[in-house]
Amino acid sequence: MTEFRHDDRSGPFTHAPNSVRTTMTTVMLALVPATLFDAALFGWPAVNLFVVTIASCLAVEAGCLKTQGKPVRATLGDGSAMLTGWLLALSLPPWAPWWIGVLGAVFAIALAKHLFGGLGQNVFNPAMVARVALLVSFPLPMTSFVPPRPLFTEHAPGFLDSLAITFGHAFQLDTMSAASALGTIKTELSRGVPVSQSMGQTPDLWHMLIGIRPGSFGETSAILILLGGLWLLHKKVITWRIPVAVMGTLLVLGTIFHGINPERFSSGLFQAISGATFLGAFFIATDYVTSPVSRSGQLVYGVGVGFFTWIIRMFAGYPEGMAFAVLLMNALTPLIDRAFRPRTFGRTRSGAPLPLPQRKSP
Amino acid sequence: MKLFHVEGGVHPEYRKERTQEHAIVSLPMPRILCLPLKQHAGAPAELVVSSGKRVKKGDLLAKAPSGVSAPIHAPTSGTVVDIREMASPHPSGIAQPTIMLRPDRKDEWSSDLPPAIEDPFTADPAVIGERVEWAGIVGLGGAAFPSAIKFGLRSKKPDILVLNGAECEPYLTCDDRIMQERAGEVIDGARIMAHALGVSRIIIAIETNKPAAIAAMTGAAMAHSEVTVAPIPVQYPMGSEKHLTKAVTGRETPAGKLTADVGVVVHNVGTARAVREAVRFGRPLISRVITLSGAGLTRGMNIEVPLGTMVVDLIEFCGGFKDGKAPHRLVSGGPMMGQPLPSLEVPVVKGTCGILALTKEEINEQPTGPCIRCGSCVSVCPCGLVPLEMAGFIRHDKLEEAEKAGVRDCVSCGSCSYICPSHIPLVQYFNYAKGRLNTDDRDRRKQDRLKLLVEARMARMEKQRKAKAEAAAAAAAAKKAAAAKPTPAPTEEPKASA
């Protein structure tokens, strides 16, 4: 009769139909609507930047794997580098030049990921490390937003013009730049214009919600990002804890302080739908590798991200603080994991066995 | 009935439909039965027969030594043709002494069987406990823990008997079929157990994916007010003793304690039926119902088999492997916690609840990737552990850290391995760590004992030496005294002056 190979692989002898690749693919699919919308909104230069950023991430990933003697094809296929590139592209100004994407890929994949040991080992979210490094090193191109110029409309650049914008020097900052809503308010506030007045210069809430506004490539359409996020919740790729904690914190802090001083602080609703709040809450802060693993830990982490985002937006030099807040909380993740653990069955939270119940003899 | 929330768990593909509708059939007596001396948790049984002996059905073949063990009886009449070392149904395939019984096909019952206990409900509980011990009954859910020991839990004054009909492992349907076809026997057995334990309430817990079993058991329980049938949610590992207890009673067993410490004793439904056979008819445990399933098998079945039946004979009875092709994996038990079988030439033992011939597609085994910290293992762990962290410690050989992180609280249900998107064999790490920790414990205990022995010996020697010295001193003193009086020893003089 048949001989079975005897090895020390133990059970289970069944497995959920999931894999790292499925997870990454699901997240990317969830980003498709917002990406398409913004690609249409900002035209060919945005598409160029998207392609350049993702291609660079894949190339850098392949290079890093090869130099370390790790399997290139299998690891590239898991989709993690592509997702990093995608998220990075979405967090860049849509008309940024090509080298921003390439440099970003090096920061994200080589520095933030592989120097820490590759997939699963990085402490900081690679896309956010790249975004922050670029923002600090090249503040001008990283804060030069353009007003929406939908594809095939009168003022939209054609494909050839777009190549000149992305790869040449055709982007005339002074004539074409526009500020994001958060940026407008911060600048005006520094000039002594109260929030209640500068709010008039920002797009109305409805335009912010659907995304007809200047901003980073992928962050403008709150509604489409939300749609993708809800789909991720439905597919159980993420849970509600981090997104709800991030947005809830922003909403609550915003509302309270706006109530106290509306001249100084913008409203909670504005906080929740402006900038990268939705993208950050659903797609960035929920990054598995760099966020806590327990439920309570995830809540704490989400509240932290929301809190620091608000602090930076309100009191620091940068109009948007999501990336910084995520990195700050990434650093705290190991501590949160240590401090917030699930309760072990049969034990108290402190780890001692549960006391025996007092039973009356039957 | 009020149910209580149990954290974690997974919902694997159950694939029970393959055998759920297949009534239990009896296996024709095989050509040979192989009965290993250790079919249960605890010490192996001790041979009482030798090669060449003719035995009848139910005769004792091996008796239980004192402590945790269970005797083994002849599943049919025939001749003991050999006693030899044979591979056991364990992944290691380690050989152990095995009784080879060639059936004579007469299937004659022994005349030495104990009498039936006519009215078990008036019998002394101790008598029932002794009968269960005699019958060699072990937990038939898979753990194979000698049941008689659980009857001793009466001393802890439990108030609820939970009958485990969860059968939360995918594929397996043997308990389901027993409950559907033998509901009355199961409930009778459960009531006998309850009497022996002195408990007044019986809860029969059945996962809701077994509607026919729930209906049958509810019908049979109607006449007995102390019996409640509790349909429980389909959630692996609901059949885990402590989790089941929590789900139906709300009582959470403290770490390191037994469910009996919170007043609950849990028995499998098949065990209840075996207890009834032993008590009402004086029959030992010599057969059991098992499920044969998996896509690698021509047809799935539920079969009542004599213990000791070779797996190869069972596979043949089911029409062999599908398309004559060996399956990717042959597993004893369910796919979540079952053990891979080393070969087809191993017997069915008391704890075997299923034999699965699984194809590669069913197993969905993939190469292991790096952990992406997704936290799935944390959210599915029914014990509230952090599997990824424990595995990290064990990978770096930090067993003490793993112990602190709670690896000993792990019930090895495999939910974490099942859900891991990187296909990391987490539960394998934990089993390894638990094994190592237990060995270390044993070594430490051995060393402690050795140290105690050595210290005791040293103390004894010291005492002896002292005693000797004292005796010598006393003798010398006596001698001196004796010498000093009549004739002072001349040799003493210079010493004294010096």
Which chain B residues contact residue A26 at CB under 8 A?
A: none
A359 contact B CB<8A: yes
Residue extent(s) of CATH 3.40.50.11540 domains in chain B: 16-288
Which chain B residues contact residue A345 at CB under 8 A?
A: 7, 242-243, 246, 252, 255, 382-384, 409
Kindly tell me if the per-residue pLDDT of B497 is higher than 50.
Answer: no
pLDDT at B495: 44
Residue range B175-203: mean pLDDT, rounded: 97
Kindly tell me if the per-residue pLDDT of B115 is higher than 90.
Answer: yes
Kindly tell me if the per-residue pLDDT of A4 is higher than 70.
Answer: no
Give which of B386, B390, B412, B419 to mutate to test A binding, by max A Cβ within 10 Å.
B386
Tens of pLDDT, residues A72-97 = 888 888 999 999 999 999 999 988 89
pLDDT at B494: 45
CA-angle at A324, arms to A197 and A284, nearest 5°: 100
CATH topology of domain B371-484: Fumarate Reductase Iron-sulfur Protein; Chain B, domain 2 (1.10.1060)
Q: Which of A288, A295, A361 sits opposite B374 (nearest CB)?
A: A288
- The residue that leads in pLDDT, B390 or B93, is B390
Class of domain B289-363: alpha beta
Reading the block at residue B478, the tokens are 């006596």
Q: 3.40.50.11540, 3.40.50.740, 3.40.50.1820, 3.20.20.10: which CATH number matches B16-288?
A: 3.40.50.11540
Residue closest to A22 by CA, chosen among A83, A72, A112? A83
- Strand-by-strand arrangement of the B46-47 sheet: B46-47, B60-63, B72-73
Reading the block at residue B76, the tokens are 């049919």
Dihedral angle of Cα A356, A361, B1, B3, to the nearest 10 degrees? 0
Percent of chain A's residues with pLDDT above 90: 59
Residue range B471-493: mean pLDDT, rounded: 69
Which chain B residues contact residue A298 at CB under 8 A?
A: 375
pLDDT at B331: 94
Residue range B319-334: mean pLDDT, rounded: 92
Residue range A109-113: mean pLDDT, rounded: 96
A362 contact B CB<8A: yes
Rounded CA Rg of chain B: 29
Convert B96-119 to b/e letters by CB count within 10 Å (16 or more is b). ebbbbbebeeeeebbeebbeebee
Q: Is B473 helix (H, G, I), strand (E, B) or coil?
A: helix
Q: Which of B253, B370, B375 sits opposite A346 (nearest CB)?
A: B253
Q: Closest chain B residue to A349 measured between Cα atoms?
A: B384
Give which of B252, B365, B372 to mutate to test A binding, by max A Cβ within 10 Å.
B372
Q: What is the rounded CA–CA span in Å between residue B231 and residue B248? A: 9
Q: What is the pTM of this model?
A: 0.88
CB-CB contact of A60 with A110 (8 Å): yes
In the block, tokens 């249960």 appear at B40
Kindly tell me if the per-residue pLDDT of B251 is higher than 50.
Answer: yes
pLDDT at A11: 79
pLDDT at A318: 84
Q: Which of A15, A292, A357 sits opposite B423 (nearest CB)?
A: A15
Q: How crowded is residue A44: how many other Cβ atoms within 10 Å of its Cβ?
A: 21
Residue closest to A148 by CA, chosen among A101, A98, A95, A97? A95
pLDDT band at B498 (very low <50, low <70, confident <90, very high): very low
pLDDT band at B116 (very low <50, low <70, confident <90, very high): very high
pLDDT at A172: 55
In the block, tokens 């952990």 appear at B371
Percent of chain B's residues with pLDDT above 90: 80
Residue closest to B256 by CA, chosen among A107, A219, A346? A346
H or E segment and range at residue B288: strand B287-293
pLDDT at A175: 46
Which chain A residues contact residue B418 at CB under 8 A?
A: 12, 14-16
Do residue A293 and residue B427 have CB atoms under 8 angstroms apart?
no
Describe chain A by its helix, strand, coil percentages, rounded to 5.
60, 0, 40
Kindly tell me if the per-residue pLDDT of A360 is higher than 70.
Answer: no
A68 contact B CB<8A: no
Q: Which of A1, A6, A291 sits opposite B342 (nearest CB)?
A: A6
Reading the block at residue B339, the tokens are 């053990």
CB-CB contact of B396 with B365 (8 Å): no
Show Cβ contacts of residue A15 under 8 Å, excluding neighbours closer than 6 positions.
B363, B364, B365, B366, B417, B418, B423
DSSP string, B49-74: --TT-EE-BT-EEEEPPSSS---EE-
Tens of pLDDT, residues B273-298 = 999 999 999 999 999 999 999 999 99
Q: What is the rounded CA–CA span in Å between residue A257 and residue A268? A: 8
Q: What is the rounded CA–CA span in Å between residue A261 and residue A306? A: 20
Q: How crowded is residue B467: how many other Cβ atoms within 10 Å of its Cβ?
A: 10
Q: How crowded is residue A56: how many other Cβ atoms within 10 Å of its Cβ?
A: 24
CB-CB contact of B205 with B232 (8 Å): yes
Lowest mean pLDDT among A207-216, B206-215, B220-229, B367-376: A207-216
Kindly tell me if the per-residue pLDDT of B403 is higher than 90.
Answer: yes
Lowest mean pLDDT among A213-222, B219-228, B399-408, B428-437: A213-222
CA-based torsion, A4, A5, A6, A11: positive or negative: negative
pLDDT band at B263 (very low <50, low <70, confident <90, very high): very high
Percent of chain B's residues with pLDDT above 70: 97
Q: What is the rounded CA–CA span in Å between residue A59 and residue A65? A: 10
For residue B469, CA distances in Å to B20, B463, B464, B480 come to: 82, 10, 8, 16
A360 contact B CB<8A: no
Which chain B residues contact residue A20 at CB under 8 A?
A: 369, 372, 421-422
Rounded CA Rg of chain A: 23
Using H for helix, E for strand and C for coil, what is the string for B197-228? HCCCEEEEEEECCCHHHHHHHHHHHCCCCCEE
Peptide bond into B12 cis (omega under 30): no
CATH topology of domain A20-339: Ammonium transporter fold (1.10.3430)
For residue B251, CA distances in Å to A9, A245, A307, B162 come to: 35, 33, 40, 12
CB-CB contact of B150 with B42 (8 Å): no
CB-CB contact of B373 with A120 (8 Å): yes
Which chain B residues contact residue A294 at CB under 8 A?
A: 375, 378, 386
pLDDT band at A178 (very low <50, low <70, confident <90, very high): low
Quote the mean pLDDT of chain A.
88
Tens of pLDDT, residues B43-101 = 999 999 999 999 999 999 999 998 899 999 999 999 999 999 998 887 777 889 999 99
Q: What is the rounded CA–CA span in Å between residue A25 and residue A8? A: 32
pLDDT at A271: 87
Tens of pLDDT, residues A7-64 = 556 779 999 999 999 999 999 999 999 999 988 888 888 899 999 999 999 999 999 9
Q: What is the rounded CA–CA span in Å between residue A97 and residue A208? A: 25
pLDDT band at A170 (very low <50, low <70, confident <90, very high): low
Q: How crowded is residue B288: how many other Cβ atoms within 10 Å of its Cβ?
A: 26
Reading the block at residue A197, the tokens are 């007045």
Q: Which of A10, A15, A342 sits opposite B384 (nearest CB)?
A: A342
Tens of pLDDT, residues A308-357 = 999 999 998 888 889 999 999 999 999 999 999 999 999 999 999 999 88
How many contacts (CB atoms, under 8 Å) link A and B? 200
User: Which residues 209-248 of chain A have a CB within 8 Å of chain B?
Assistant: 239
Cα A233 versus chain centre, distance: 16
Do residue A120 and residue B329 have CB atoms under 8 angstroms apart?
no
Q: What is the rounded CA–CA span in Å between residue A85 and residue A54? A: 4
Kindly tell me if the per-residue pLDDT of B399 is higher than 80.
Answer: yes
Show Cβ contacts of residue B454 under 8 Å, excluding neighbours closer than 6 positions.
none
What is the identity of the amino acid at A306? G
pLDDT at A173: 52
Do residue A20 and residue B356 have CB atoms under 8 angstroms apart?
no
Peptide bond into A262 cis (omega under 30): no
Dihedral angle of Cα B142, B240, A13, B331, to the nearest 10 degrees? 0
Give which of B378, B394, B417 to mutate to test A binding, by max A Cβ within 10 Å.
B378
Q: What is the rounded CA–CA span in Å between residue A259 and residue B146? A: 69
Reading the block at residue B80, the tokens are 């003991």
Kindly tell me if the per-residue pLDDT of B316 is higher than 90.
Answer: yes
A294 contact B CB<8A: yes
Q: What is the rounded CA–CA span in Å between residue A282 and residue A244? A: 9
Strands (DSSP E) found in B154-269? 160-165, 201-207, 227-232, 264-268
Q: Which of B329, B338, B378 sits opposite A342 (nearest CB)?
A: B378
Lowest mean pLDDT among A177-191, A255-269, B386-400: A177-191
Q: Closest chain A residue to B324 measured between Cα atoms?
A: A2
What is the identity of the amino acid at B138? V
CA-based torsion, A332, A337, A338, A340: positive or negative: positive
Cα A90 versus chain centre, distance: 8
Which chain A residues contact residue B337 at CB under 8 A?
A: 11-12
What is the identity of the amino acid at B463? K
Q: What is the rounded CA–CA span in Å between residue B339 and residue B92? A: 10
